[in-house]
Chains A and B, each alone.
Chain A
């Protein structure tokens, strides 16, 4: 089943990239790979290794992997854009207690922001968002990020909740990286 999953991903991303390329958004697939690479690097750079005392509180949020294999092939790009939007939002405020490297954090946010804006422009141009709206997995994705947001709010954005969230975002980006690399 894993092999089939991999094949589906390749196929979907291939077709979605073909579509994005034809929108005069040719640089997006290449830029996206770089953004993901960079984001993972900066995510590691902004903090230290996971604190031992937070291991007790660690929980799994169960990222909905099926969002990267939707029924409509073109919507994988939209899914990635939405994921970036959510990550961008999470890392935008209440970061005092996390005590991370501000410069790395700024660059992380800036990279995501540029990609979001450019992806959005291309997607809207080709009306792909209409297909995305009907996707069932889209709601699962919103639920996933809602869970993380509520978790942070409940824990009042303390250090452990931030570190757990950062680890979760790393997992999420790594998954997108894997899907994008298979291209």
Chain B
């Protein structure tokens, strides 16, 4: 009836006399919750089931002790740690690379001081007193799972005398600017020493295997005599170790201490370049990023920003202003004319908390500008002049037009009254348009037109001559007197 409910009998834990039992055989899925219950039996009597215990094996399991191997050579102790469950086919801790090993060691003396060191599976302990016995124990921890493992049994070893080796390279240091890396070291005053700079990729130390054969030579730094090496070629953004092997002759060699290099953390950012430009009242700051053309990778990884400092170089107190930008062009808009402005720029990375040195100071003179009120006045006067000119010409044009219209449609001179019917035909007569000259004051009537006929008598002619003579006199006089005079003359003639 048990099988129906899902519960199974635990083999090896049936009819147990004590109050404990090993249930490992029933545990196969380490990440699934398991449920256990117990009941007592006394003869035919059976107790009810106990409260069900729920547990997840991975959660309750503890990390067993690792295995420790020690080797004492040349004044140092070489340590090799084998992970827990090393020979198990089915492991609780599958990822044995995630262990962090804590080595505890002390000198086997009366007042022993415990030392702690985080070690790799294959590691070296130096800085130990020679010819002394040291004892070691190690535990495997899983910090992310919040677990601390059991300690291995204690193992003791005696250190040897360290051979005084003045051949080794010492004081290894790294100088890095704009992702150009140099390793420098000291020669201990030896001659005929050649150096080999070697590097090891960081992750190899994390593996359980011995990495001593995984060191590679840095290109261009093999068999060199100078005490520096440019290792830019291998310094991509990865993490690695460096060491220097010193060689003298055929059989003498020495390995220096190791140096850790995290390129992005070690690198120093160089100063950017600055160029200034002016346009109107704007000051343009053109920044050339550090590292030049090859520095693109660096800029990308650091996510660089720029801090600009600018000030007006005047005799009064200089106020330094600051501006932070991400682009390589910045503009300052409130520059005063006829002044000297100076600028310097610094590159920085917020993420990596790094900043470069400031660039060289660049200065520029702003041009003399026309004072603003004068400019405004000038523009105003100019506009005024233009408006006046336009207005004047318009007025002139309109006046001329008015005059013409007045002359044509409303003339001041009236036609004579005796020209009857003339007015009626006034507008249809073409005579009008041709008349440019003022009306003549009088006209000379040379022949008398009688009612009898059209014949012209000579006597009449003489008469007319006389009269014309008279007329001539009169007309001459009247010509000068004006139009009114001409009217009178005409009247006289008719009579």
Chain B residues touching A, majority SS: loop
Report yes or no: B94 in contact with A110, Cβ–Cβ below 8 A.
Answer: no
Task: Report the separation of the CA atoms of residues A89 and B342 in the bound assembly, to the nearest whole angstrom.
Answer: 56
Report yes or no: A89 in contact with B98, Cβ–Cβ below 8 A.
Answer: yes
Residues of B within 8 A of A63 (CB): none
Report yes or no: B144 in contact with A81, Cβ–Cβ below 8 A.
Answer: yes
A29, A82, A112: which has the most chain B beta carbons within 10 Å? A82
User: Which B50-99 residues have C-beta < 8 A from chain A?
Assistant: 56, 58-59, 94-98
Report yes or no: A120 in contact with B238, Cβ–Cβ below 8 A.
Answer: no
| Interchain CB contact (< 8 A) of A113 among B56, B144, B145, B239 | B239
Q: With A89-B97, A110-B203, A110-B238 as known contacts, state yes or no: A27 contacts B144, CB within 8 Å.
A: no
Task: Report the separation of the CA atoms of residues A183 and B193 in the bound assembly, to the nearest whole angstrom.
Answer: 54
Which of A48-56, A127-135, A156-164 touches B?
A127-135
- In this assembly, does B264 line the interface, its C-beta being within 8 Å of a C-beta of chain A? yes
* Size bracket, chain A contacts: 35 or more
Chain A residues touching B, majority SS: helix
Which of A3-11, A65-73, A138-146 touches B?
A138-146
- In this assembly, does B398 line the interface, its C-beta being within 8 Å of a C-beta of chain A? no
Report yes or no: B264 in contact with A27, Cβ–Cβ below 8 A.
Answer: yes
- In this assembly, does A23 line the interface, its C-beta being within 8 Å of a C-beta of chain B? no
How distant is A74 from chain B, measured CB to nearest CB, in Å? 13
Task: Report the separation of the CA atoms of residues A86 and B96 in the bound assembly, to the nearest whole angstrom.
Answer: 10
- In this assembly, does B301 line the interface, its C-beta being within 8 Å of a C-beta of chain A? yes
| Interchain CB contact (< 8 A) of A92 among B58, B207, B300, B353 | B207
- In this assembly, does B201 line the interface, its C-beta being within 8 Å of a C-beta of chain A? yes
Task: Report the separation of the CA atoms of residues A38 and B264 in the bound assembly, to the nearest whole angstrom.
Answer: 15
Report yes or no: A30 in contact with B238, Cβ–Cβ below 8 A.
Answer: no
Report yes or no: A86 in contact with B95, Cβ–Cβ below 8 A.
Answer: yes
Task: Report the separation of the CA atoms of residues A86 and B458 in the bound assembly, to the nearest whole angstrom.
Answer: 151
Q: How many residues of B contact A (CB 8 A)?
A: 33
Report yes or no: B144 in contact with A78, Cβ–Cβ below 8 A.
Answer: yes
Residue of B nearest to A93 (CB): B207
Task: Report the separation of the CA atoms of residues A146 and B90 in the bound assembly, to the nearest whole angstrom.
Answer: 11
Residues of A within 8 A of B95 (CB): 85-86, 89, 145
Report yes or no: B201 in contact with A142, Cβ–Cβ below 8 A.
Answer: no
B205-232 vs A, CB cutoff 8 Å, 1 = contact: the mask equals 0110000000000000000000000000
- In this assembly, does A97 line the interface, its C-beta being within 8 Å of a C-beta of chain B? no
Residue of A nearest to B236 (CB): A107
- In this assembly, does B413 line the interface, its C-beta being within 8 Å of a C-beta of chain A? no
User: Which B175-216 residues have C-beta < 8 A from chain A?
Assistant: 201-203, 206-207
Task: Report the separation of the CA atoms of residues A11 and B129 in the bound assembly, to the nearest whole angstrom.
Answer: 54
Cross-chain pairs A/B with CB under 8 angstroms, 7 sampled: A86-B95, A92-B207, A111-B237, A120-B144, A132-B144, A139-B56, A142-B31
Not counting A88-B206, A140-B31, a sample of 10 additional A-B residue pairs whose C-beta atoms are within 8 angstroms of each other reads A26-B350, A85-B144, A109-B203, A110-B239, A110-B240, A113-B203, A114-B203, A130-B146, A133-B146, A143-B31
